[in-house]
Chain A
Amino acid sequence: DTAVSQTPKYLVTQMGNDKSIKCEQNLGHDTMYWYKQDSKKFLKIMFSYNNKELIINETVPNRFSPKSPDKAHLNLHINSLELGDSAVYFCASSPDSSSYEQYFGPGTRLTVT
């Protein structure tokens, strides 16, 4: 059973489009995260939700909007995609916001053309 899953694995789209990436965890964790890994492999936190509530919101354009319908899901919606949004997006989860361990999803490679 996959602990943290993301769909799609690959996403190719044109500039200006709106797209969503979905994340689900079956670990019963309370806290979920979105990270962005750029072309230089640098990983940076974007958002974190704890029990469906936003607890971390780093400096991310407001074209990015996370949505957590329940604590097992954290989706990332991106409006008006730009070339610079091309990256690998990782979802992760941890038991709660005070836990140290995090479990990562397989990543979604987004390519904006």
Chain B
Amino acid sequence: AQKITQTQPGMFVQEKEAVTLDCTYDTSDPSYGLFWYKQPSSGEMIFLIYQGSYDQQNATEGRYSLNFQKARKSANLVISASQLGDSAMYFCAMREAPGSARQLTFGSGTQLTVLP
């Protein structure tokens, strides 16, 4: 089964509007971390935001917030006031704790295009 599912291969949003990128995950581990990364066309992976499974509050970093719904196993990324520079591929990722090794498992990504 897919551990991380991003059901939106592509999204469009008008500049200055908010957009939500969906992410659902599957794990039986009580301790895990959820991440969002941005990959612009230049190719680098940029860390955006992190949510721990035991965190009570939703994570926020500037214009990024993570809508964490633990019972639904969803970790959607909300970008407020979209900017043209937000156009990029966005990856949701999870780190579980399988034994002593922890690795990131990535979703398939969502290509976000911000329209002027």
Contacts and interface: CB of A to CB of B under 8 A. Distances in A.
Contact of B104 (A45, A97, A98, A106): A45
B102 A98 contact: yes
Q: Which of A55, A90, A97, A102 has the most CB of B within 10 A?
A: A102
Contact of B106 (A44, A88, A101): A44
A43 B45 CA distance: 11
Nearest to A103: B47
Secondary structure call for the B interface: strand
Contacts of A88: 43
Contacts, number: 62
Contacts of B91: 43
Contact of A100 (B33, B43, B89, B105): B33
A102 B101 contact: no
B44 A106 contact: yes
A44 to B, nearest CB: 7
Nearest to A106: B44
B7 to A, nearest CB: 15
24 contacts: A44-B106, A48-B101, A48-B103, A55-B101, A56-B103, A92-B104, A97-B100, A97-B102, A98-B97, A98-B100, A98-B102, A99-B102, A100-B95, A102-B35, A102-B47, A102-B104, A103-B47, A104-B37, A104-B44, A106-B43, A107-B43, A107-B44, A107-B45, A109-B43
A45 B95 CA distance: 12
B50 interface: yes
Contacts of A104: 37, 44-47
Q: Which of B45, B106, B109 has the most CB of A within 10 A?
A: B45
What 9 A-B pairs are tightest by C-beta distance, nearest first?
A100-B33, A104-B45, A43-B106, A45-B103, A106-B44, A55-B101, A107-B43, A56-B101, A41-B109
Given A43-B106, A101-B50, 17 more contacts: A35-B104, A41-B39, A41-B89, A43-B93, A43-B104, A44-B106, A48-B101, A55-B101, A56-B101, A94-B102, A98-B97, A100-B35, A100-B52, A100-B95, A100-B102, A102-B35, A104-B47
